[in-house]
Amino acid sequence: MGVTPKIAPSMLSSDFANLASEAHRMLNYGADWLHMDIMVPIFHLFLCRHFVSNLTMGAPVIESLRKHTKAYLDCHLMVTNPLDYVEPFGKAGASGFTFHIETSKDNWKELIENIKSLGMRPGVAIKPGTSVEAVYPLVEAETPVEMVLVMTVEPGFGGQKFMPETMDKVRILRKKYPALDIEVDGGLGPSTIDMAALAGANCIVAGSSVFGAPEPAQVISLLRNSVEKAQLTY
């Protein structure tokens, strides 16, 4: 197995008024990445709705945080027009740029090229209702995505219940792509991590279970141990 565990606390659950110190706190507790949820509720004509109904942070926040840390900023774009955000996020210092296939069926090649040209790592995310086949062309492209993010809740808010039925997608992806970074996001914590780890996820986003814990370092370490242990079985 070439993929290493990456534990990424979701900063959506942090105290936004103290973002830099929250980031340092998580890194000191053992986090590998910082997961940044970018949500902008812009109406999408083709989807006939907002992609999410929440509003979180934009490139200026990434730029500010970048001045305080060299950490990997794992940016998950829950927006209807990700192409508009590539340049601002690249310039702001984002490390990874993950867009949703649901919003990018027609321009994913251009997106991946642009993301890479700005020095970021491209990833693609899929909502619980989207079939896994939708991402195969992006993983197998000449210029491929380097991570698939399988959403384990409906995008929009932290603190939701993990959807175990999404694990089939993780299992299929891990079997098909042994060296691919597979991220899971939503409802991950001590009671759900084994399901995701055994299915083959190696990048774990966790918000409320980490920030809400009396000992966040213990939760981060438990998440990592679960992934490492599961990797011995496949």
Ligand X SMILES: O=C(CO)[C@@H](O)[C@H](O)COP(=O)(O)O
**How is 90-136 classified by DSSP, letter by letter?**
HHHT-SEEEEEGGG-TTTHHHHHHHHHHTTPEEEEEE-TTS-GGGGH
206 lies in the site for ligand X, by CB under 6 A: yes
**How many residues interact with ligand X (rule CB under 6 A)?**
22
User: In the complex, what is the shortest distance from the CB of residue 172 to ligand X, in angstroms, rounded to a whole number?
Assistant: 21
User: In the complex, what is the shortest distance from the CB of residue 195 to ligand X, in angstroms, rounded to a whole number?
Assistant: 14
13 lies in the site for ligand X, by CB under 6 A: yes
Distance CA 222, CA 163 (A): 20
Among 60, 119, 159, 178, binds ligand X (CB under 6 A): 159
Strand-strand pairing, 147-151 and 181-185: parallel
The residue from 32, 74, 181, 185 that is catalytic is: 185
In the numeric block, which tokens belong to residue 207?
A: 């918000």
Among 122, 186, 200, 216, binds ligand X (CB under 6 A): 186
Q: Which is nearer to ligand X, 10 or 104 (CB)?
A: 10
Among 34, 188, 203, 220, binds ligand X (CB under 6 A): 188
Strand order in the sheet with 96-100: 6-9, 203-206, 181-185, 147-151, 121-126, 96-100, 72-78, 33-39
Q: Contact 131/165 with Cβ under 8 angstroms?
A: no
According to CB under 6 A, which residues from 119 to 158 bind ligand X?
153, 155-158
Q: Which residues are catalytic?
A: 37, 185
Which residue ranges make up the site for ligand X (CB under 6 A)?
10, 12-13, 35, 37, 76, 153, 155-160, 185-188, 205-209
